[in-house]
Amino acid sequence: MKRSIQKYFHYFDVSELERMRALYGDGELGERPVLASVYSAIRHRRLPERYPEAVGYGTNFCEAYHKAIVQSMGCALLAQSWLRPLAAYIGQRPCLEIMAGTGALAWALGQYGCRVLPTDNFSLRDTFGRRWVKVRRMDALRAVKKYGKKVDFVLLSWPFIGPLPQQILAWLRQHNPSCRLIYLGEWRGGCNVDDAFCDFAQEDPEAAALVAQLRKHYQNWYALHDSIYILK
């Protein structure tokens, strides 16, 4: 993992937000209240249609709320604007989620009626403050070997960089070639997948129009370049 990302995976003490408020008021760009209201909505499982521009500011408050929101929801900025068309595409077809973290993505798609089984080996258990759904404890490759032939989609959001994403895609290609990997994260040179994965993965041309639509809505935190991919 890139050094710059590591700080988001250490347990963040949310009382820090109150201390910062006492010190810095509403922030350099007046961003604190807007970020606080997004955080509060997420705490109550209300995912926004889209996020305010302030998520892209490089301020202290932006960094602090980034940590708090990762802890509470996860790494990707889950927004209804792209979850809705993604859920419509998935429909009732079964999905497995690996490295699911809090399970917020599985929960959000579940709100649209999608059937997602979230799994994770809980190796980051000190980072995520809560789970949104019951997440089955399971190693990612083991989960794919166990359920991968029975699902139409495998969801993978913000994996750790390493050989696993490519092993998973290779297994799917061999054992269930019609299954698609829905990947959320950074691409080549980023903090989630290595070059070997980027060379190996192929975008599904049949999903190109949908992916273009999803990417129009997908947003990033400051200095991050994650996006959404439908891969085979």
The three-state secondary structure class of 194 is: coil
Q: Which is nearer to ligand SAM, 17 or 70 (CB)?
A: 70
Q: How many residues bind ligand SAM (CB under 6 A)?
A: 18
Q: Is 123 in the site for ligand SAM (CB under 6 A)?
A: yes
Q: Round to the nearest angstrom and report the end-to-end CA distance of the chain.
A: 24
202 belongs to the binding site for ligand SAM (CB under 6 A): no
Please enumerate in sequence order all residues whose Cβ is within 8 A of that of 230, keeping only pairs 6 or more positions apart, or say none.
180, 181, 182, 183, 203, 204, 207, 210, 211
**SS3 call for 204:** coil
- Is 120 a binding residue for ligand SAM by CB under 6 A? The answer is yes
Check binding of 76 to ligand SAM (CB under 6 A).
yes
* Tokens standing for residue 225: 């370049």
Span interacting with ligand SAM, options 43-51, 98-106, 145-153, 216-224, rule CB under 6 A: 98-106
Told to check if 157 binds ligand SAM by CB under 6 A, we report: yes
How far apart are CB 102 and ligand SAM at their closest, in Å? Answer: 6
Question: The tokens of 39 are what?
Answer: 């955080």
Q: Is 140 in the site for ligand SAM (CB under 6 A)?
A: yes
Convert 188-197 to b/e letters by CB count within 10 Å (16 or more is b).
eebbbbbeeb
Minimum CB–partner distance for residue 169 and ligand SAM (Å) = 15
The site for ligand SAM (CB under 6 A) is made up of: 74-76, 98-101, 120-124, 139-140, 157-158, 160, 164
